[in-house]
Chains A and B, each alone.
Chain A
Amino acid sequence: MRNGFVTGPLLGALWLVVIATTVAVTMSFATGAAFRPQVLFSVIWGAVAGLIYVRFPVRHATARLGVALFLGLSCLTGIGPVLIGSGTTLLALLITVGSIALVMHLSMAEILKELPFGELTRHEYEDAVIRFCTGFGYIFFTAIVVIPFYVMVMTSLKSQQALLQNPLDFSLDLSQGTALFRSYTELFRDFNFGTYLWTSFYVSVLTVFITLLFSVPGAYAVARFRFKGQKAFSRSILLIYMVPMIVLALPIYIAFSLTGLRNSILGIVMIYPVTTIPVALYMLQGYFRGLPTEVEEAGLMDGLSRISVIWKITLPLSLPALASVSLYVFMIAWNEFLLAFMLLDDPSKFTLTRGVTMLNSSEIPRQHLMAGAVIATVPIMALFLGLERFMTKGLTAGSVKG
């Protein structure tokens, strides 16, 4: 097993299957034409390639280039790693051939780097396997994350007929110009999505403010003061976090129905912060604990009251944590679905998530639903990418201290 001439072909065979599948799936999604990975041929040619890459250790040896080129060109015949159906454009053909050859050459050279032909040490063998797994991991994770979002965006730009005709064809007809975005214009014009966007936005912002208003003093008390029941309290915060929303939603639904708060934004704004306060409290108390007490004590010695210590010393010091918590709470409120779904029936008061649910009916074309999904996703994604550092920190602190 631990010989270059065994490991090389083995990894080569597996790797070509991965590459062939990746290229075929990518090309299918990009053009809609028929690309099919051929597992058997991939295994055979991959093994051959692996053997050659191990046998000729020079980085750009002629034999290496030759076999890579052969792998690419063999796709044009029926026995290559990828079977290309008829009716494919020349450009797509060239891209397939080129990418198979190029990707295979570069990645094989990387995976089988410094792998001798003969017996391998344990290190050499495991390093090669790890490089293979790393390559596979990147492709796999990127694919599973990107494909759904790609499909979401592209479907929102297509028409129902085009979608039914060939569900794989995501190529865009750019000649339509702005008509490409007709799902979006229809959503904003006929389905009130502008209002929903605004409702979602101010409900989320209000939730953030109310949550901070309640959780900052609470978190400070739990973090700084010693009092009876402090331990039990900081534990029960987590406990509350574990009550399922649907269990709470049922009595809340009844109570809101009886008091007339159902179907009102006021009710939503009352209920959202309570679902986020425990999380915020938990995150903030962890952060407050980490702040040096000396600074605060100095403030106390200088005659500040506790409240002004919090306001003038602790809060300015914890701005990054506040940003993380705010973002996290904003995300929860923006993405919240269950309560909005149960408590809002009146289309003029919908939040964005509730509005998108409304689009999930057989009478409304699919691309509208996907356009709605894009509208709901884009703001939170933009926020997330722009403030990724805070967000990641918030997410990490949001659950358990790691």
Chain B
Amino acid sequence: MNFKKLPYSLLVKICSIVAFVCMFFPLVVVSNGGQVFTKYNGWNLISGIDFSASLDVLAETQQTATMDIMLLVVACMIISAVALSVKNKYGLRIGAIASGLGALATGLFIVEMNNGLAMRIAAIAADSQYSFTSWPEFSYTAVLFTMLGVLVLQFAITVLANIFSPINEVQTTLLQKRAITGYMFLMPFIVGFLLFFLTPAIKSLVFSFSLVDVHGTGGYTVNPAGWYESATGTIFVPANYYRALLVNVDYPTYLLTSIGNLCTTLPLVVIFSFFAAVLLNRAFKGRGFVRAVFFMPVILTSGVILAIETSDVLMSTMQASFQSQVSSSGSTGMQAFELQTMLTALNIPEKIVTAVMSVVNNLYAIISASGVQILVFLAALQSVPRSLYEASSIEGATGWEDFWKITLPMVSPYFVVNIVYTVVDCFTSAAKIGDQYSSYSSILDYIYDVSFVQMDYGLGSAMSWIYFLCIALIMAVVVAIVNRFVFYYDER
């Protein structure tokens, strides 16, 4: 059998997909409240972890270590899979090293799991509230199964690397060298992603599937709760996702309101920023000054200033009352009101009037939210090749035709960019959820309140993950729709 003839990359791909699926195995266990392994007598991955200060430091560090080592296994698998797809000696070496590290980490993981379990069982035994009598016997079986699976996978990857990598091809080509240099340039981000994004994100995901009890000393206890409900002893406790969507009164309303707000803000911001970019792209006197002013909100109205200006409802009611104190008429609010009465007097349908009024009232918010988008569009407008306009003017096209036939198609990819950015910006910054719900300025404020004031971390994380899913879904839909109309001049 000639190994060289086999579809090398396909096998590696299949292998890494299997490995990738396996990485989610612990998460599946967690998301089911530890119920996957009922046949192994109910092995729970992180059940009853107690970080409280009353336990000694050893137990605490072991628990953290267990979690982190699990992540190390994941990281090693990803690295080995990626490295092995680079088909040269470096790829092989990196892949082999990563696989070895992965195996080592799996070993650590097993040791830690056992130690950690022992510690936990001791801790739980001391606490009369829990009575998991059947714990000690099964844990080894389950852990051994996981370990075996991971080891077999690592072994398979290593063997595949040995067989299918072109070892005789010692000389790397220029392209391969450049690929490796490219990875080196990306290294800061990859390390940061694993360390400062994936680790907290997975922990937060685990929290969202658990009941998190916070102790006064700064420690906390995590109990698996799953999707819908969990029974602690005999008492029925609805789990976080269930509570967030079906029990909590405020959260669904806030969620829908902020999604509705996005639907009105998104087109306004994108269209306004395109309009402003087209305006600023013209040559006119004082362009430098005008550009400086247009980008000023990005710089000056950010973070705490923005929070104070717009999102902090307490403050804005203060300002509203302050304005009414300062001037009985003549303020902007009053003029907007007059515009509204004028429009209604003109027999314009009420829906249109409210839509126009929402634009007029939010004009400043829209302008200050579109600074970065204007920057992106301006750069895009500048990058349209002049030769296209020259050719069209020779053909006798007017400025109007130039705009629709050249400018818009050439700039259209940047609409996708700006839509993504606007959705992100709307959702992650302090977006207002409307005046009728005036106790919180934004849904993120509400989540913050739930997590850090009401001390319900599990519910808070569940809410923010639902929120994130909504963002991702909306973004995917909008981008998919817009992508149909986008024209790509050259694929680089």
B partners with A:
no
Interface residues of B (CB under 8 A from A): none
